[in-house]
Amino acid sequence: MIVAVIHGPNLNLLGVREPEVYGKTTLEEINGRIEELAGELGIEVMICQHNSEGDLIDAIQEAGCEADGIVINPAGYTHTSVAIHDALKAVPIPAIEVHLSNILAREDWRHRSMTAPACEGIIGGLGVDSYLLAVRGIVALVEARR
Ligand code: DQA
């Protein structure tokens, strides 16, 4: 099984970016934890991070051809992107949306996710564990549908 993990804009700055909100763990450390879990679960992960919307859409389309499921943190595009919603709907594989922070406990304008309705589920507020739970979730979902 192959799971694509797609990180959105500004997540390359984790560790230094608003640590009081996002914690001190870097993206590299998060990716290491994901790879470790992938080893335990016996799956492959394709991990990428992009700051621009078009690159994220390309990554979703590529995952649609190469992977069995997607874990995505669309970051700021969560709240604005019809195009990322459409890309997630356009591919024939399921996705789970992830957030490090609890977007419902933050500013009003973060309460709406444009992208979550195109996903099977959403996990947030648990820091790195949001990603790890999402990977376990997508694996269970893909297996259940086989
Ligand atoms: C985020 C939450 C978004 O509102 C924000 O724009 C991000 C990160 C999170 O992981 O908590 O960049 O997706």
Could you read off the pLDDT of 63-109 as tens digits, one per residue? 999 999 999 999 999 999 999 999 999 999 999 999 999 999 999 99
- Asked whether 99 lines ligand 1 (CB < 6 A), one says yes
CB atoms within 10 A of CB 112: 12
Q: What is the pLDDT of residue 56?
A: 99
Contacts of 13 (CB under 8 A, 6+ apart): none
Alpha-carbon gap, residue 10 to 77, rounded angstroms? 11
Q: What is the pLDDT of residue 109?
A: 97
- Asked whether 73 lines ligand 1 (CB < 6 A), one says yes
Q: Identify each DSSP E strand in 29-68 by its residue range.
A: 44-49
What value does the mean pLDDT of the chain take?
98
- 84 C-alpha vs ligand 1 centroid, how far in Å? 15
At 27, give phi and psi (nearest 5°).
Answer: -65, -35
> Which residues are bridge partners to 5 per DSSP?
47, 71
Q: Region 39-48: what's the mean pLDDT?
A: 98
Q: Region 19-42: what's the mean pLDDT?
A: 97
Q: What is the pLDDT of residue 87?
A: 99
At 74, give phi and psi (nearest 5°).
Answer: -75, -5
pLDDT-derived band at 114, boundaries 50, 70, 90: very high
Of these residues, 7, 50, 85, 99, which one is catalytic?
A: 99
Which tokens sit at 127?
């820091």
CATH architecture entry for 1-34+54-68+82-96+118-125: 3-Layer(aba) Sandwich (3.40)
Q: Region 31-37: what's the mean pLDDT?
A: 98
Percent residues over pLDDT 90 in the chain:
100
Q: Region 128-142: what's the mean pLDDT?
A: 98
- Asked whether 34 lines ligand 1 (CB < 6 A), one says no
At 10, give phi and psi (nearest 5°).
Answer: 75, -5
- 79 C-alpha vs ligand 1 centroid, how far in Å? 9
Alpha-carbon gap, residue 63 to 140, rounded angstroms? 18
- Asked whether 49 lines ligand 1 (CB < 6 A), one says no
